[in-house]
Chain A
Amino acid sequence: MTDKRDSHFYENDAALIDAMLEGDSTAFETAVALYHPRMVTIAKAIIGEAFAEEIAQDAWMSAIRSLSEFAGRSSLNTWLIQITANAAKTRLRREKRQVSLDENWQEKETADRFDHTGHWQEPVSQWELETPEAILANDQLSDIISKTFEQLPPQQQAVLSLYDLEGESMSEICNILDLSASNARVLLHRARSAIQQKIAQYQDND
Protein backbone atom coordinates (compact mmCIF):
# COMPACT_ATOMS: atom_id res chain seq x y z
CA MET A 1 0.00 0.00 0.00
CA THR A 2 1.23 3.46 -0.89
CA ASP A 3 0.20 6.59 1.00
CA LYS A 4 0.85 10.20 0.21
CA ARG A 5 1.51 12.44 3.15
CA ASP A 6 2.28 16.04 3.83
CA SER A 7 6.05 16.43 4.16
CA HIS A 8 5.55 19.11 6.81
CA PHE A 9 3.62 16.87 9.17
CA TYR A 10 6.37 17.36 11.75
CA GLU A 11 7.03 21.00 12.39
CA ASN A 12 10.82 20.70 12.25
CA ASP A 13 13.75 18.30 12.57
CA ALA A 14 13.65 18.39 16.35
CA ALA A 15 9.99 17.37 16.45
CA LEU A 16 10.61 14.55 13.98
CA ILE A 17 13.62 13.28 15.96
CA ASP A 18 11.76 13.44 19.27
CA ALA A 19 8.98 11.34 17.79
CA MET A 20 11.53 8.86 16.43
CA LEU A 21 13.19 8.59 19.82
CA GLU A 22 9.78 7.78 21.28
CA GLY A 23 9.50 4.94 18.77
CA ASP A 24 6.68 6.50 16.78
CA SER A 25 6.26 4.51 13.57
CA THR A 26 4.81 7.40 11.54
CA ALA A 27 7.93 9.40 12.37
CA PHE A 28 10.19 6.64 11.07
CA GLU A 29 8.13 6.29 7.90
CA THR A 30 8.18 10.04 7.33
CA ALA A 31 11.94 10.25 7.84
CA VAL A 32 12.62 7.35 5.50
CA ALA A 33 10.25 8.69 2.83
CA LEU A 34 11.83 12.13 3.06
CA TYR A 35 15.50 11.29 3.22
CA HIS A 36 16.13 7.78 1.92
CA PRO A 37 15.82 8.69 -1.79
CA ARG A 38 18.27 11.57 -1.31
CA MET A 39 20.71 9.32 0.53
CA VAL A 40 20.56 6.74 -2.24
CA THR A 41 21.27 9.46 -4.82
CA ILE A 42 24.31 10.62 -2.88
CA ALA A 43 25.58 7.05 -2.55
CA LYS A 44 25.06 6.43 -6.28
CA ALA A 45 26.92 9.63 -7.12
CA ILE A 46 29.93 8.43 -5.16
CA ILE A 47 30.05 4.70 -5.69
CA GLY A 48 27.58 3.91 -8.48
CA GLU A 49 24.38 1.95 -8.71
CA ALA A 50 25.44 -1.42 -7.31
CA PHE A 51 26.10 -0.64 -3.63
CA ALA A 52 23.98 2.49 -3.24
CA GLU A 53 20.90 0.98 -1.61
CA GLU A 54 22.95 -1.08 0.82
CA ILE A 55 25.10 1.90 1.79
CA ALA A 56 22.07 4.10 2.39
CA GLN A 57 20.57 1.42 4.64
CA ASP A 58 23.83 1.06 6.59
CA ALA A 59 23.98 4.83 6.93
CA TRP A 60 20.49 4.76 8.45
CA MET A 61 21.58 2.14 10.95
CA SER A 62 24.49 4.23 12.16
CA ALA A 63 22.36 7.36 12.18
CA ILE A 64 19.76 5.63 14.33
CA ARG A 65 22.46 4.53 16.77
CA SER A 66 23.59 8.11 17.33
CA LEU A 67 20.23 9.79 16.91
CA SER A 68 19.99 10.81 20.56
CA GLU A 69 23.37 12.54 20.26
CA PHE A 70 22.38 14.45 17.14
CA ALA A 71 22.43 17.94 18.53
CA GLY A 72 21.04 19.79 15.54
CA ARG A 73 24.32 21.48 14.64
CA SER A 74 23.32 20.94 11.03
CA SER A 75 19.99 20.01 9.50
CA LEU A 76 18.94 16.38 9.74
CA ASN A 77 19.22 16.22 5.96
CA THR A 78 22.83 17.44 5.92
CA TRP A 79 23.76 15.10 8.74
CA LEU A 80 22.27 12.05 7.01
CA ILE A 81 23.92 13.01 3.72
CA GLN A 82 27.29 13.29 5.42
CA ILE A 83 26.95 9.89 7.07
CA THR A 84 25.95 8.41 3.71
CA ALA A 85 28.78 10.10 1.81
CA ASN A 86 31.35 8.90 4.36
CA ALA A 87 30.03 5.35 4.22
CA ALA A 88 30.14 5.41 0.41
CA LYS A 89 33.71 6.74 0.36
CA THR A 90 34.88 4.14 2.85
CA ARG A 91 33.29 1.42 0.78
CA LEU A 92 34.80 2.81 -2.40
CA ARG A 93 38.27 2.61 -0.86
CA ARG A 94 37.62 -0.92 0.27
CA GLU A 95 36.40 -2.00 -3.15
CA LYS A 96 39.68 -0.62 -4.46
CA ARG A 97 38.34 -0.08 -7.87
CA GLN A 98 37.14 2.92 -9.71
CA VAL A 99 33.43 2.59 -10.17
CA SER A 100 32.41 4.02 -13.49
CA LEU A 101 29.81 6.69 -13.21
CA ASP A 102 27.62 8.38 -15.74
CA GLU A 103 29.23 6.56 -18.63
CA ASN A 104 26.88 7.41 -21.41
CA TRP A 105 25.70 10.90 -20.76
CA GLN A 106 28.30 12.58 -22.89
CA GLU A 107 27.11 11.37 -26.26
CA LYS A 108 23.48 11.38 -25.26
CA GLU A 109 23.41 14.94 -24.19
CA THR A 110 25.46 16.87 -26.66
CA ALA A 111 23.38 15.92 -29.69
CA ASP A 112 24.87 19.03 -31.12
CA ARG A 113 22.86 22.19 -30.81
CA PHE A 114 25.59 24.17 -32.59
CA ASP A 115 26.92 24.25 -36.14
CA HIS A 116 30.60 23.98 -37.08
CA THR A 117 31.09 27.73 -36.61
CA GLY A 118 29.76 27.50 -33.03
CA HIS A 119 26.42 29.18 -33.74
CA TRP A 120 23.02 27.80 -32.72
CA GLN A 121 21.66 25.28 -35.24
CA GLU A 122 18.10 26.37 -34.55
CA PRO A 123 16.97 29.80 -33.45
CA VAL A 124 16.32 30.03 -29.70
CA SER A 125 12.85 31.38 -29.09
CA GLN A 126 11.37 33.32 -26.27
CA TRP A 127 9.18 31.04 -24.18
CA GLU A 128 5.47 31.59 -24.08
CA LEU A 129 5.32 30.53 -20.43
CA GLU A 130 7.80 33.10 -19.27
CA THR A 131 7.84 32.80 -15.47
CA PRO A 132 8.65 29.90 -13.15
CA GLU A 133 5.20 30.28 -11.62
CA ALA A 134 3.53 29.87 -15.02
CA ILE A 135 5.73 26.87 -15.78
CA LEU A 136 5.01 25.10 -12.51
CA ALA A 137 1.30 25.87 -12.77
CA ASN A 138 1.27 23.83 -15.98
CA ASP A 139 0.75 20.23 -14.83
CA GLN A 140 2.45 18.66 -17.84
CA LEU A 141 5.50 20.88 -17.54
CA SER A 142 5.87 20.43 -13.84
CA ASP A 143 5.62 16.69 -14.48
CA ILE A 144 8.30 16.93 -17.17
CA ILE A 145 10.59 18.78 -14.76
CA SER A 146 10.30 16.23 -11.97
CA LYS A 147 10.61 13.26 -14.36
CA THR A 148 13.73 14.72 -15.99
CA PHE A 149 15.15 15.43 -12.56
CA GLU A 150 14.59 11.84 -11.44
CA GLN A 151 16.22 10.49 -14.59
CA LEU A 152 19.39 12.56 -14.37
CA PRO A 153 22.61 10.59 -13.94
CA PRO A 154 23.31 10.29 -10.17
CA GLN A 155 26.21 12.74 -10.01
CA GLN A 156 24.25 15.41 -11.85
CA GLN A 157 21.20 14.79 -9.73
CA ALA A 158 23.21 14.94 -6.52
CA VAL A 159 24.95 18.22 -7.41
CA LEU A 160 21.70 19.79 -8.59
CA SER A 161 19.81 18.80 -5.42
CA LEU A 162 22.55 19.97 -3.12
CA TYR A 163 23.13 23.28 -4.91
CA ASP A 164 19.73 24.38 -6.23
CA LEU A 165 17.38 22.63 -3.82
CA GLU A 166 19.31 22.58 -0.55
CA GLY A 167 21.42 25.69 -1.13
CA GLU A 168 24.71 24.05 -0.14
CA SER A 169 27.91 25.86 -1.10
CA MET A 170 30.01 24.56 -3.97
CA SER A 171 32.96 23.85 -1.70
CA GLU A 172 30.77 21.79 0.66
CA ILE A 173 29.37 19.88 -2.32
CA CYS A 174 32.85 19.10 -3.66
CA ASN A 175 33.75 17.91 -0.20
CA ILE A 176 30.68 15.66 0.19
CA LEU A 177 30.92 14.12 -3.28
CA ASP A 178 34.69 14.16 -3.67
CA LEU A 179 34.62 16.24 -6.83
CA SER A 180 36.87 18.98 -8.18
CA ALA A 181 35.30 22.42 -8.34
CA SER A 182 35.36 22.53 -12.13
CA ASN A 183 33.85 19.07 -12.40
CA ALA A 184 31.04 19.97 -9.98
CA ARG A 185 30.23 23.11 -11.96
CA VAL A 186 30.10 21.15 -15.23
CA LEU A 187 27.76 18.58 -13.65
CA LEU A 188 25.52 21.34 -12.30
CA HIS A 189 25.27 22.98 -15.70
CA ARG A 190 24.58 19.68 -17.49
CA ALA A 191 21.75 18.94 -15.07
CA ARG A 192 20.15 22.36 -15.44
CA SER A 193 20.65 22.22 -19.17
CA ALA A 194 18.92 18.84 -19.46
CA ILE A 195 15.86 20.28 -17.74
CA GLN A 196 15.98 23.50 -19.79
CA GLN A 197 16.03 21.47 -23.02
CA LYS A 198 12.98 19.44 -21.97
CA ILE A 199 11.05 22.59 -21.11
CA ALA A 200 12.11 24.11 -24.44
CA GLN A 201 10.94 21.02 -26.34
CA TYR A 202 7.53 21.29 -24.73
CA GLN A 203 7.21 25.03 -25.26
CA ASP A 204 8.36 24.87 -28.88
CA ASN A 205 5.87 22.16 -29.78
CA ASP A 206 2.96 23.86 -28.20
Chain B
Amino acid sequence: MLKCRQIEQLASDYLDKDLSFRQRMAFKLHLFICHNCRNYVRQLKITITSIKLMPANQIIVDDKTKALAKVLRENASKQ
Protein backbone atom coordinates (compact mmCIF):
# COMPACT_ATOMS: atom_id res chain seq x y z
CA MET B 1 0.00 0.00 0.00
CA LEU B 2 1.43 3.37 -0.99
CA LYS B 3 1.77 6.08 1.65
CA CYS B 4 0.72 9.69 1.09
CA ARG B 5 4.41 10.60 0.99
CA GLN B 6 4.96 8.26 -1.95
CA ILE B 7 1.89 9.60 -3.72
CA GLU B 8 3.40 13.07 -3.48
CA GLN B 9 6.68 11.83 -4.97
CA LEU B 10 4.99 9.94 -7.82
CA ALA B 11 2.37 12.55 -8.66
CA SER B 12 4.19 14.16 -11.61
CA ASP B 13 4.94 10.74 -13.09
CA TYR B 14 1.28 9.82 -12.67
CA LEU B 15 0.06 12.99 -14.37
CA ASP B 16 2.63 12.64 -17.18
CA LYS B 17 1.55 9.00 -17.64
CA ASP B 18 4.98 7.76 -16.80
CA LEU B 19 4.09 5.03 -14.29
CA SER B 20 4.05 1.30 -14.93
CA PHE B 21 0.66 -0.41 -14.98
CA ARG B 22 1.14 -1.81 -11.48
CA GLN B 23 2.27 1.52 -10.03
CA ARG B 24 -0.64 3.25 -11.70
CA MET B 25 -3.14 0.83 -10.18
CA ALA B 26 -1.58 1.22 -6.73
CA PHE B 27 -1.66 5.01 -7.15
CA LYS B 28 -5.33 5.00 -8.15
CA LEU B 29 -6.23 2.72 -5.28
CA HIS B 30 -4.67 5.17 -2.83
CA LEU B 31 -6.52 8.10 -4.41
CA PHE B 32 -9.74 6.16 -4.09
CA ILE B 33 -9.42 5.97 -0.33
CA CYS B 34 -7.49 9.18 0.44
CA HIS B 35 -9.20 12.53 0.26
CA ASN B 36 -6.00 14.54 0.95
CA CYS B 37 -4.08 12.94 -1.88
CA ARG B 38 -7.01 13.40 -4.24
CA ASN B 39 -6.94 17.10 -3.48
CA TYR B 40 -3.17 17.18 -3.77
CA VAL B 41 -3.08 15.56 -7.21
CA ARG B 42 -5.79 17.93 -8.34
CA GLN B 43 -3.77 20.91 -7.05
CA LEU B 44 -0.68 19.70 -8.86
CA LYS B 45 -2.59 19.21 -12.09
CA ILE B 46 -3.98 22.75 -11.93
CA THR B 47 -0.48 24.03 -11.15
CA ILE B 48 1.03 22.34 -14.19
CA THR B 49 -1.60 23.74 -16.52
CA SER B 50 -1.15 27.20 -14.99
CA ILE B 51 2.60 26.98 -15.62
CA LYS B 52 1.98 26.00 -19.24
CA LEU B 53 -0.38 28.93 -19.69
CA MET B 54 1.92 31.49 -18.05
CA PRO B 55 1.74 34.58 -20.19
CA ALA B 56 4.89 35.38 -22.14
CA ASN B 57 3.60 38.20 -24.27
CA GLN B 58 5.91 40.88 -23.05
CA ILE B 59 9.65 41.00 -23.16
CA ILE B 60 11.81 43.36 -21.17
CA VAL B 61 14.43 45.27 -23.08
CA ASP B 62 16.76 46.76 -20.48
CA ASP B 63 20.17 48.42 -20.78
CA LYS B 64 22.02 45.12 -20.47
CA THR B 65 19.93 43.65 -23.27
CA LYS B 66 20.57 46.66 -25.48
CA ALA B 67 24.31 46.53 -24.81
CA LEU B 68 24.62 42.86 -25.72
CA ALA B 69 22.39 43.35 -28.77
CA LYS B 70 24.64 46.18 -29.93
CA VAL B 71 27.81 44.10 -29.61
CA LEU B 72 26.20 41.25 -31.53
CA ARG B 73 24.93 43.51 -34.27
CA GLU B 74 28.35 45.08 -34.74
CA ASN B 75 29.94 41.65 -34.92
CA ALA B 76 27.37 40.47 -37.44
CA SER B 77 28.03 43.44 -39.71
CA LYS B 78 31.77 42.82 -39.69
CA GLN B 79 31.34 39.47 -41.38
- The verdict on A51 contacting chain B, using a C-beta distance below 8 Å, is no
- The verdict on A205 contacting chain B, using a C-beta distance below 8 Å, is no
User: Which single member of A119, A165, A192 contacts B4 (CB below 8 Å)?
Assistant: A119
Alpha-carbon distance between A61 and B68 when the two chains are bound, in angstroms: 10
Give per-residue flags for A18-35: 1 if the beta carbon is below 8 A from chain B beta carbons, else 0: 001101010011111110
User: Which single member of B9, B12, B75 contacts A192 (CB below 8 Å)?
Assistant: B12
Give per-residue flags for B31-44: 1 if the beta carbon is below 8 A from chain A beta carbons, else 0: 00001110110111
Which residue on chain A has the smallest CB distance to residue B12? A189
Which range contains the number of B residues in contact with the other chain?
35 or more
The answer to whether B11 and A2 have CB atoms under 8 Å apart is no
Give per-residue flags for A45-75: 1 if the beta carbon is below 8 A from chain B beta carbons, else 0: 0000000000001001100110100000000
Most buried by A among B51, B54, B58: B51
Interface residues of A in 1-30 (CB under 8 A from B): 1-8, 20-21, 23, 25, 28-30
| Segment of A89-97, A100-108, A128-136, A172-180 in the binding face | A128-136
Which residue on chain A has the smallest CB distance to residue B3? A118
The answer to whether A60 and B61 have CB atoms under 8 Å apart is no
DSSP majority for the B interface? helix
DSSP majority for the A interface? helix
The answer to whether B46 and A188 have CB atoms under 8 Å apart is no
Name the distance in Å between A176's Cβ and chain B's nearest Cβ: 18
The answer to whether B51 and A4 have CB atoms under 8 Å apart is no
Interface residues of B in 33-79 (CB under 8 A from A): 35-37, 39-40, 42-44, 46-63, 65-66, 68-70, 72-73, 75-77, 79
Which residues from chain B contact A111 at a C-beta distance below 8 Å? none
The answer to whether B61 and A199 have CB atoms under 8 Å apart is no
Known: A6-B57, A127-B42. 10 other contacts (CB 8 A): A4-B61, A23-B76, A23-B77, A64-B75, A114-B4, A114-B5, A114-B8, A124-B35, A145-B50, A164-B48
A-B contact pairs, 23 of them (CB 8 A): A2-B60, A4-B60, A4-B61, A25-B70, A30-B59, A30-B61, A33-B60, A36-B68, A60-B72, A118-B6, A120-B36, A120-B37, A123-B36, A124-B39, A127-B43, A135-B50, A145-B54, A165-B56, A185-B18, A192-B51, A193-B8, A193-B44, A195-B51
